[in-house]
């Protein structure tokens, strides 16, 4: 995983609340066996009409969305299915951070595992960002701040270990593998079929 | 000093901590059972291969295929290939991965195959006190046995394959106290829809729910699984129900339950799992079961739910307006006026034998209303055989419904079992998200009884009219 330390970008706003992972990446695209290439199907049913043509009024199809690396979404993004294809699709499309006031648990975990930064903001900052799409913000991962165009820095929570992994570009599997001796001890004490 | 009272969740959690959490690092949590399927594992096996890692505990890992598998008999057992090329490739990839890494696999024609959350309990490998994970959000189903069971992403699937452990922060606890009894004709599905309507689709975020109270204790295991299954629809990490005599009766003599002295020891151990008197829950809510009626969703998430005797709410926010536009419904419209074109009975929520019986009992001697299509998809091959032994399949086909092989099928349409755009689909599944059952499909979540009654009338119908 590549280190994620700073994200400076204009934002794109998708104010819908409860954006579920079926919207982010519909199930019919989940038969793939690699992680690559999901970006073209991101929000497929909102982005394209039934004939497969881009809907010009959908925010990600508008010219000003090009190059935006920060998605500001309504409350409770990522609810529903555990499909990690959702963060893969967001990243493949070009997003490095998702901003909301609430993240569904599994989606949040899946984002962090892939270096897609979930930025949990207070309601008033979030509301301002939703209302001002296209502004340039600066996210400092190490200090967990998001700096608004007026220079005001707003903090957001990222769990310590997840932050360590993001900033250093390491993944959690290495840490788990380093606990091999402890896992073996646990297995011995709990027999072949614990519980 | 006496140990402080603990919740069931805490007991299971504490028994599985390999390395305790610290301010800097999450806990290393041991996983007793890893259920896997074709959709959320291929990239995890690729990761293991790239790192030269082996599967740590094949004995605690089981694979099945359910999401992208066909349900037409000729495609499963005949010479007809799987219609969707990428689905066929995904199924083949699971076969390759299972062979290479030494995972027990119930393949397409295996008599034990079925939806991953149906077969774990059937086999008796879902047991009280276990930690159970799967790359599927409805893993919460297994909490019905007093297991701590939750869905994970593909990266975490890889973690469990390689280490049999996960890094986890301890979730909070949320008691759902269901007081009084469910009235006659009101099902577990109606209860969980009402609970989600009450606490909201993110009401359980960061929490493990424990369903408690007399109405819960009276439920069968099938019904408890329906309840726990939809915990994720309230945003919860997991849902749990205390194991009791009903649980033990279900598990006894399942193919892989403990036997003899091991069984007695297991029951003694499981009997200590229920939450201690006076244990602390971070949150709690009381639900009055006695006041409930059958419930049906009208919107595009499971929290947009109304009593079948009621109406679509008169007004709401922008989300509400958008949902109603998608659903083609008017604010204030009576739920009983909503037309039904398609009926789906099945899924990990309501695809067990008792669910099929409940639908068949309503449907017996009736025909589907003109223009209504109905698909009945058993949750597993074992459910299918048991249903056929009782003649349930004949009731469905006599009414005009299609009877299929097991799988996730029309719950999410990955295998091509889809609802056409604009059609109203009353479905016993778990999600009414936009496009879930097909692009433009309009899903109404309900119980098997309500689905069957609505199939007969061609509009949303209270099943109590048929009892």
Query: How does pLDDT run across B406-441, given as a tens digit for each residue?
Result: 999 999 999 999 999 999 999 999 999 999 999 999
Q: What is the distance between the alpha carbons of residues B375 and B345, in angstroms, rounded to a whole number?
A: 6
Q: Do both B225 and B208 map to the same domain? A: yes
- Would you say residue B90 lies in a domain? yes
Q: Do both B320 and B437 map to the same domain? A: yes
- Would you say residue B259 lies in a domain? no
State the pTM of this model.
0.97
A76/B26 CB distance under 8 A: no
Contact assessment for residue B449 and residue B457, using Cβ atoms and an 8 Å cutoff: no
- Would you say residue B309 lies in a domain? yes
User: Does the structure show a pLDDT above 80 at B284?
Assistant: yes
Say what the pLDDT of residue A1 is. Answer: 82
- Would you say residue B222 lies in a domain? yes
Q: Which residues of A touch B319 (CB under 8 A)?
A: 16-18
A182/B19 CB distance under 8 A: yes
Mean pLDDT for chain B overall: 97
User: Does the structure show a pLDDT above 90 at B164?
Assistant: yes
- Would you say residue A12 lies in a domain? yes
Q: What is the distance between the alpha carbons of residues B442 and B427, in angstroms, rounded to a whole number?
A: 10
Q: Which residues of A touch B26 (CB under 8 A)?
A: 159, 161
B42/A175 CB distance under 8 A: no
Say what the pLDDT of residue A61 is. Answer: 97
Q: Do both B237 and B380 map to the same domain? A: no
> Pick from B168, B187, B214: which residue ends a domain?
B168
Q: Do both B281 and B302 map to the same domain? A: no
> CB pairs below 8 Å between A and B: how many?
184
> Pick from B136, B168, B200: which residue ends a domain?
B168
* pLDDT digits 0-9 by tens, A88-116: 999 999 999 999 999 999 999 999 999 99
The stretch B316-322 carries a mean pLDDT of 90
Give me the residues paired with residue B342 across strands: B373, B425
- Would you say residue A88 lies in a domain? yes
* Adjacency order of strands within the sheet including B33-36: B104-106, B61-64, B33-36, B131-134, B148-151
Q: Do both B427 and B461 map to the same domain? A: yes
- Would you say residue B256 lies in a domain? no
- Would you say residue A1 lies in a domain? no
Q: What is the CATH number of the domain that holds B461?
A: 3.30.499.10
**Tally of CB atoms within 10 A around A5:** 14
- Would you say residue B258 lies in a domain? no
Contact assessment for residue B98 and residue B38, using Cβ atoms and an 8 Å cutoff: no
Counting the structural domains of chain A, the total is: 1
> What residue numbers bound the domain in which A155 lies?
6-190
Question: Is A61's Cβ below 8 Å from some Cβ in B?
Answer: no
Q: Do both B286 and B317 map to the same domain? A: no
**B166, B226, B160: which is closest to B190 by C-alpha?**
B226
Structure tokens at B195: 């609970």
* Adjacency order of strands within the sheet including B27-30: B17-19, B27-30, B165-168
- Would you say residue B137 lies in a domain? yes
B275: exposed, middle or buried (Cβ count in 10 Å: 0-12, 13-18, 19+): buried
> What residue numbers bound the domain in which B402 lies?
294-466
Say what the pLDDT of residue A195 is. Answer: 42
* pLDDT digits 0-9 by tens, B26-52: 999 999 999 999 999 999 999 999 999
Q: Which residue has the tokens 């799987």?
A: B82
* pLDDT digits 0-9 by tens, B363-420: 999 999 999 999 999 999 999 999 999 999 999 999 999 999 999 999 999 999 999 9
Say what the pLDDT of residue B312 is. Answer: 97
Q: Do both B190 and B128 map to the same domain? A: no
């Amino acid at each position: 995983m590549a280190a994620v330390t700073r994200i400076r970008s204009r934002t794109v706003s998708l104010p819908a609340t409860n954006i579920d992972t079926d919207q982010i990446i519909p199930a019919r695209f989940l038969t793939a066996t690699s992680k690559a290439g999901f970006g073209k199907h991101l929000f497929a049913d909102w982005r394209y009409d039934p004939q497969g043509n881009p809907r010009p009024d959908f925010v990600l199809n508008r010219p000003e969305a090009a190059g935006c690396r920060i998605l500001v979404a309504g409350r409770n993004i990522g609810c529903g299915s555990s499909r990690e294809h959702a963060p893969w699709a967001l990243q493949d499309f070009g997003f490095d951070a998702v901003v909301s006031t609430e993240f569904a648990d599994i989606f949040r975990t899946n984002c962090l595992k892939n270096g897609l930064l979930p930025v949990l903001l207070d309601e008033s900052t979030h509301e301002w960002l939703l209302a001002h799409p296209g502004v340039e913000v600066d996210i400092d991962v190490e200090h967990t701040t998001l700096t608004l165009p007026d220079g005001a820095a707003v903090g957001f929570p990222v769990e310590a270990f997840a932050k360590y992994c993001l900033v250093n570009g390491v993944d959690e599997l290495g840490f788990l593998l380093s606990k091999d001796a402890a896992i073996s001890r646990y297995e011995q004490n709990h027999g072949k079929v614990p519980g | 000093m006496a140990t402080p009272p603990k919740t069931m969740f805490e007991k299971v959690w504490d028994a599985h901590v390999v390395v305790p959490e610290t301010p800097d690092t999450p806990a290393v949590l041991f996983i007793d059972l890893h259920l896997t399927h074709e959709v959320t594992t291929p990239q995890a096996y690729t990761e293991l291969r790239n790192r030269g890692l082996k599967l740590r505990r094949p004995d605690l890992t089981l694979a099945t295929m359910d999401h992208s598998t066909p349900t037409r008999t000729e495609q499963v057992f005949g010479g007809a290939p799987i219609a969707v090329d990428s689905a066929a490739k995904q199924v083949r990839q699971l076969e390759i991965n299972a062979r290479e890494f030494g995972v027990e696999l119930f393949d397409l024609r295996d008599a034990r195959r079925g939806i991953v959350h149906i077969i774990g309990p059937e086999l008796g490998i879902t047991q009280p006190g276990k930690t159970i994970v799967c790359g599927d959000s409805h893993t919460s189903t297994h909490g019905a046995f007093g297991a701590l069971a939750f869905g994970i992403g593909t990266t975490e699937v890889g973690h469990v394959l390689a280490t049999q452990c996960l890094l986890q922060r301890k979730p909070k606890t949320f008691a759902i106290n269901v007081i009084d009894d469910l009235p006659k004709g009101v099902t577990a599905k109606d209860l969980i829809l009402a609970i989600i309507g009450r606490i909201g689709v993110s009401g359980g975020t960061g929490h493990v729910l424990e369903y408690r109270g007399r109405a819960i204790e009276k439920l069968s295991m099938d019904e408890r699984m329906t309840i726990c299954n939809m915990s994720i629809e309230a945003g919860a990490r997991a849902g749990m129900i205390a194991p009791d005599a009903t649980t033990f009766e279900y598990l006894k003599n399942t193919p892989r339950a403990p036997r003899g002295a091991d069984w007695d020891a297991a029951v003694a151990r499981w009997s200590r799992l229920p939450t201690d008197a006076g244990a602390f829950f971070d949150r709690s809510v009381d639900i009055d079961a006695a006041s409930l009626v059958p419930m049906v969703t009208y919107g595009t998430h499971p929290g947009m739910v109304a009593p079948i005797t009621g109406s679509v709410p008169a007004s709401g926010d922008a989300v509400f307006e958008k949902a109603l536009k998608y659903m083609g419904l008017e604010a204030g419209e009576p739920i009983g006026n909503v037309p039904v074109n398609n009926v789906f009975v099945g899924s990990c929520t309501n695809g067990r034998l008792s669910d099929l019986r409940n639908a068949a009992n309503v449907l017996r001697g009736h025909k589907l209303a003109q223009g209504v299509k109905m698909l009945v998809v058993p949750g597993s091959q074992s459910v299918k055989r048991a249903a056929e032994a009782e003649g349930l399949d004949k009731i469905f086909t006599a009414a005009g419904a299609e009877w299929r092989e097991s799988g996730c099928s029309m719950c999410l349409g990955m295998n091509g079992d889809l609802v056409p755009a604009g059609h109203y689909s009353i479905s016993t599944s778990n999600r009414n998200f936009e496009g879930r059952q097909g692009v433009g499909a309009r899903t109404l979540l309900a119980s098997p009884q309500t689905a069957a009654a609505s199939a007969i009338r061609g509009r949303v119908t209270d099943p109590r009219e048929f009892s």
